[in-house]
Each structure stands twice: as C-alpha cells, then as structure tokens.
Copies of this chain bind each other. A is one copy, B any other.
Amino acid sequence: MSAAVANVQFLSGVKIVDLTQFEAGPSCTEALAWLGADVVKIENPKMGDPGRRLRPGQPDNDPYYFHVFNANKRSMTVNLKSPKGLALVKDMIRQADVCIENFAPGAIERLGLGYDVARELNPAIIYAQIKGFGEGSPYEKNLAFDMIAQACGGTFSVTGEADGPPIRPGISLGDTGTGMTMAITILGALYKRRETGEGCRLQVAMQDAIMHYMRINFATQGRTGQVVGRAGSKVPGISNAPMGLYPCAPGGSNDYVYIMTSRANPDHWDRLLKVTGREELIGDPRYLTPQDRVDRQDEVDDIIASWTRTRTKHEAMRVVGEAGIPAGAVLDTMELQNDKTFEDRGIMQVMRHPVHSDFKMPGWPVRVNGKPPAIRSSPVLGEHTDAVLGEWLGLNAQAVEVLRAEGAV
C-alpha cells in the first residue's frame, strides 16, 4: 500500500449481498467497498458478471471494464437456478445489511429473490434496486443502457454544437451517476437503521437519476421559459464573454484551454487583457461592461485566441490561472494517466491483480484525514466462495466441496 493512501474502514462490518452487473449497480457497491464494506458479488459460476467479458467469444483478456467498477469487492459463485444455490443466497440475505440488484425488470422476482422474499428472510434488510426506468413510467419494462438513460434523461439534448445534432456526453453518467445516488440513500438507510433496526426498500431508475444531474438546465429553463439548447463549449442559456475553449499551440485535437471570466468580477477582464499583452484595451468602451463583451463576443474571442494560439494549453492554463482567472487545459485520458501527481496523491492507484497485469486506475477521490482509500484488486471469478461461505454461513471446507460437487456454487 502506497504511503499516499489509507485503509479506510468507515463501513467495516457492513455486509452487502451484491447481485449487480455491468456498471450502474457495481459503481454503487464499489463506492461502499472503498469505504470498507464487505461487498460480496454473487456471480454465476460459468461466466460471472457479463461486465467481465465485453467481447463475447474472445478470451478473458479484457479485464479493464471489470477492474474499474469492482475494486475492493469479493466474488462468490452461486448457481441461482439450483435450489441449493438459491438457498445459500437466502441464507446470506439473512446475515446481510444490504442486498442490491440491477437485473432487467422482473428478473429478480422470477429468480425468487424479490423484495417480498428478502423482507421475510430479514426484516432489517436494506433492499436496493436499480432499473432503467421507474415503476409507473410508461417505459418501466424497457431495458436500458447508459446511453438510453442519458438520451431519455436529457443530457444529449444539451450537449453538442448549437447548430449540430445531440451528442453523447463521453462519461457514463447514466450508470455511475445513478449508482452514486443509490449509494447515498443506502448509507442514509444504514445510519437510521442503527437506531431503529428497520429495513426498507430503495429503488432508483437511471432516467430519473439523470434528472438530478440535469438540475441546472431546469433552472435555466425556469429563468428563460425556453427549452435549453446546445452551446458547444459554453453553457447553454448563459451569456458571458470571454468564456469557453480557446485554441492553443500546437493545434492538436485537444490543444485547448478553457477560460472563464466572471461577470460578477470585472477585474477578470482587465487581468486577462494584461496577461495577454493587450493592456491598451483596458478601459476601452467597446468592451467595458459584461454586456458589451457579450455583444462583441466574436471580437473578444479573437483577442483571447490570438494569444492562446501562441501558447501551449499548459502554459496558457498556468499564466491565466496565476492571474486569478479560472482556466483549465483540456486534458485527455493519456495525459491524465501519465500525470505522476495523481499517483503521488493517491487519486490514481495501481491495481495489482493475481491474474492480470498491473493496471493504474482512478480510486475513490475523497481523502480521509489526508489520504484516499487504498485500492484492492477486483476479484477473480469465485475467488472468495470458500471464504465467504465460511465467514458468513459457518460452512467448512467439506460442506463447500459438497455444494461444489452438486453444482450449487
């Protein structure tokens, strides 16, 4: 464990039966795992979480997707179609604090592990479900993946050039964004349960969760009364200049710097003119007020761009940022991966895996007493079957062997 990270045990002793797959569910339980919960992934013995193999028919040489959403968890294989396997999971639910699933609509009930069953087994269970669309929605039976939830939740409609088609935001907010709202609610329920001992049912839909992240667009619509459109690198519905991306040297596809002057702070414009060597324009009536600059936005953008084009994005960010004006270089995945300072600070960590190669990936971003939680490897399929059956259910090696011979685990 690197000196930059710590063994965070906020949730030590919290037992989670994790029936999730792909990303929306696993991102939720991973957050809880980073904070010390005992998250046991229940996986089918044959293939496991389909997120382990996104390229069917190819050997399992593509573990990255699984790594990034399943760090710090344990894996137990169970055949849910076998009566003994199903009984094992029921026994685990009796011991658990949380049970969570994100199967297709209706599937968990067909497996015989729906909320009504779980509550009978354990009235204190916190039972969490993630679906694409909400109960009562016209689409409640539909399947969803991240991009479907983002389309139906509005993010495409506000992303793209003003005169271009909708664009997918390049992050899987429909999945991980949803997982975050469920993790928060599970933790609230766990906190309360320490007083009351009572369980509950929690449900979230990906489309609904996207609405949470879209709030600022609903605020803009409230103010303007108009549907919110697209604005390229700017913010739809907000008029401000200078604001946006400015091209930098040497002109590569990500050689841009974002510069944002505040309308509430007139100093920003004057300072920007100074650092870009255009002091003669300080006080120029053409660009005096925020409204003047919006009215002459193209001229303003040219003034800034003629300077940024002669600087790298890193230099532009440094110089403008040091002048107290918010500025940020557009960094790509390789630049972020290769930036040693993330590793030094524990934000990127190397996963050392018993089977696969070392892999550097983002960990949990919040520091606890100065250090983020330490990464542990994502589990090999079934790696912890014996250990979990022993620790959770008191089964010895012989009993596990019998279950294995019967095809239950």
Contact = CB atoms under 8 A, between A and B. Distances in A.
Contacts of A65: 216, 219, 223
A169 B166 contact: no
Contacts of A156: 233, 245, 254, 256, 258, 330
Nearest to A362: B211
A164 interface: yes
Contacts of A233: 147, 156, 165-168
Nearest to A11: B188
A87 interface: no
* Oligomer copy total: 2
Interface in A190-236: 190-192, 194, 200-205, 208-209, 211-223, 226-236
A321 B143 CA distance: 7
A153 interface: yes
A250 interface: no
Nearest to A176: B213
Contacts of A182: 366
Interface residues of A, number: 146
Contacts of A12: 192
Contacts of A257: 151
A338 to B, nearest CB: 10
Contact of A216 (B139, B172, B232, B254): B172
B167 A64 contact: no
Nearest to A193: B10
Contact of A173 (B136, B171, B183, B359): B171
A221 B159 CA distance: 23
A336 B67 CA distance: 35
A177 to B, nearest CB: 7
Interface string A355-371: 00001011011111110
A381 interface: no
A160 interface: yes
Contacts of A309: none
A214 B334 CA distance: 12
A42 interface: no
A50 interface: yes
B211 A342 contact: yes
B202 A367 contact: yes
Contacts of A204: 365-367
A373 to B, nearest CB: 9
B190 A191 contact: yes
A77 interface: no
Contact of A345 (B134, B235, B260): B134
Contact of A10 (B192, B228, B236): B192
B223 A171 contact: no
Nearest to A217: B333
Interface in A137-181: 137-139, 142-145, 147-161, 164-173, 175-178, 180-181
A170 B217 contact: yes
B159 A170 contact: yes
Contacts of A165: 232-233, 245, 253, 256
Contacts of A222: 64, 67, 359, 361
A389 to B, nearest CB: 27
Nearest to A149: B328
Closest A-B pairs by Cβ, 3 of them: A158-B170, A169-B169, A10-B188
7 contacts: A157-B254, A167-B233, A180-B180, A202-B366, A208-B365, A217-B333, A222-B359
